[in-house]
Amino acid sequence: MRGEHDLSNLIINGVWPHKDLTPFKFFEGVQIPFVESDKEYTVAVHTEKVAHALATTHKYLGDKYISKVSSKYKLHGRPQIVNGVDYESTLWHNDLKEGANIAILMYFTSACNKEQGGSLSVRNKQTKELSCWLYPGKNDLIFLNHSKVWEHRVGKFKLINNERIVGCFDYNI
């Protein structure tokens, strides 16, 4: 993988891990309540403050990063925050079917480690060659390319006195 500050990794390797504390500041002082979903994870309730922080973050990340890949980028869908991992996410998959070709995962917690699992892997769908395998931690941003050549999965995850809270922001370029 090229240097960690090189956004071209998103296109070349299907993934770009990055640190930027600014988007996390949009959530300072914001209580994020969670409710059960029809999956194995809980989802954040979009209170007025949560919805505002999500919208601000969505636009910020798009303007700061996605615009460098394409000046004609579009925000896609409604950002979400989830706590946990569903079974389908532990299988190799591509999220292009959901409509966005770029996603940014924003990690609010450091629940991903060798004891608990939760690693993130990205590979070339045709060659099965792994381009990335990492354990995202608190305040990490993981940019994912959803073009058809890439697929990803979350390593099996055991919730051990910890939460795995991740914000999901989608874009089209």
Q: What is the pLDDT of residues 91-117, one digit of tens each?
A: 999 998 888 999 999 999 886 667 777
Give the DSSP letter string of 106-165.
EESS---BTTTB--EEEEETTT--EEEEE---TTEEEEEE-STTEEEEEPPB--SS---E
Q: Which helix (H) or strand (E) holds 9?
A: helix 9-12
Q: What is the residue type of 172?
A: N
Q: Which pLDDT value is given to residue 118?
A: 75
The whole-number pLDDT of residue 161 equals 57
- Could you tell me if 9 and 47 are in contact, meaning their C-beta atoms sit under 8 angstroms apart? no
Amino acid identity, position 41: Y
Asked if residue 149 lies in contact with residue 118, where contact means CB atoms within 8 angstroms, the answer is no
- What is the domain partition of the chain in residue ranges? 9-172
**CATH class of residue range 9-172:** mainly beta
Give the pLDDT of residue 7: 85
pLDDT in tens, the chain (173 residues): 444 568 888 988 999 999 999 999 999 999 999 998 887 788 899 999 999 999 999 999 999 999 999 999 999 999 999 998 888 888 999 998 888 999 999 999 886 667 777 789 999 999 999 998 888 989 999 999 999 999 999 887 666 556 889 999 999 99
Q: What is the pLDDT of residues 121-131, one digit of tens each?
A: 999 999 999 99
Task: Report the distance separating Cα 16 and Cα 117, nearest Å.
Answer: 20
Q: Is the pTM of this model over 0.95?
A: no
